[in-house]
């Protein structure tokens, strides 16, 4: 068996394949492969490249006897059993640097759209309705933006906000001492007291699953705008809808949902209410998925693979 084999089970930019093959790897590009088909051959591969559709659980890791590294074309690693992979000596590569600008810009777009009722106004005008007063918006200037999670995505959002004359505060449970020119580190209690706008940029873990529920939102001292471009299961959609009805949330921008894609999404008991709520902007999990990030993610993965390969050789 040629140990420098990489199985690619999802769509990625060809620049990764070009650069991996320049390092001496052979890439088997199978973006349409079914999981059960991949399991039949995965034991022959040293490397695996995935995006979001492929789950790497204990079963997959146990079958992958020769697997040495997994590349995740994106930021989130929640579809990989990270602890078990590391226990088995498998190195993990992801590429948050590749789509952090896309996420930061998308979050800005959602926020401006919400604060100025852009989607609602557009829909009304197309239906022959002209409402100026009902669509009067808010300015960002002077507001306090709370960022939950200050990794690549959170910092990118903060950096994009730097020209809007806002106060940016950030909380991250997993790091301290991260204050910079874009954001000031604070406690979650300070976020709850001060924030006019809250944006979530956290990984999906046992601790963050369902983080935003009725109780969490109850404690905010001001009505807020809420953004989620991280993972859908971090935010309970029903809690957001409840808070909108109570006036605690002025508007929500959700790029991700607890359940995604149809028909499963339409079957949720909260979907019809969500669909009809004109204080919510929805996008189909595309914040980090631009034409530009498509290439950049693969470039970042290839660069990290190159460093890994050199380290092993040396």
Residues identified as active-site: 231, 260, 285
Whole-number Å distance between alpha carbons of 196 and 252: 12
> 252 φ, ψ to 5°?
-130, 135
Beta strands in the chain (DSSP E): 5-8, 26-29, 47-50, 69-72, 91-94, 144-148, 167-171, 184-185, 197-200, 224-228, 249-254, 280-282
For residue 289 the two structure tokens come to 């998925």
Q: Is 84 exposed, middle or buried (0-12, 13-18, 19+ CB in 10 A)?
A: middle
Beta strands in 195-296 (DSSP E): 197-200, 224-228, 249-254, 280-282
């Amino acid at each position: 068996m040629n140990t420098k084999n990489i199985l690619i089970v999802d769509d990625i930019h060809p620049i990764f394949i070009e650069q991996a093959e320049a390092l001496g790897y052979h890439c088997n590009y199978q973006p349409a492969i079914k999981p059960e088909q991949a399991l039949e051959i995965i034991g022959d591969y040293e490397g695996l490249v995935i995006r979001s559709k492929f789950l790497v659980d204990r079963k997959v890791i146990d079958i992958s006897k020769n697997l040495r590294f997994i590349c995740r074309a994106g930021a989130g690693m929640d579809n990989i059993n990270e602890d078990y992979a590391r226990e088995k000596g498998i190195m993990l590569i992801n590429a948050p640097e590749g789509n952090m600008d896309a996420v930061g810009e998308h979050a800005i777009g959602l926020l401006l759209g919400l604060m100025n009722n852009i989607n609602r106004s557009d829909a009304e005008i197309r239906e022959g309705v002209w409402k100026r007063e009902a669509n009067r918006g808010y300015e960002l200037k002077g507001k306090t933006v709370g960022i939950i999670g200050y990794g690549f995505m959170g910092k990118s959002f903060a950096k994009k906000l730097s020209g809007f004359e806002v106060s940016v505060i950030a909380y991250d449970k997993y790091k301290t001492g991260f204050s910079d020119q874009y954001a000031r580190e604070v406690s979650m209690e300070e976020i709850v007291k001060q924030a006019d706008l809250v944006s979530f940029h956290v990984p999906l873990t046992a601790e963050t699953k369902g983080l935003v529920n009725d109780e969490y939102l109850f404690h905010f001292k001001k009505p807020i705008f809420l953004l989620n471009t991280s993972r859908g299961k971090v935010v309970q959609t029903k809690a957001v809808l409840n808070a909108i009805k109570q006036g605690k949330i002025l508007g929500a921008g959700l790029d991700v949902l607890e359940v995604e894609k149809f028909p499963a999404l339409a079957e949720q008991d909260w979907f019809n209410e969500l669909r009809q709520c004109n204080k919510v902007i929805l996008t189909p999990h595309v914040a980090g998925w631009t034409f530009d990030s498509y290439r950049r993610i693969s470039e970042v993965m290839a660069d990290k693979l190159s460093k890994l390969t050199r380290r092993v050789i040396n």
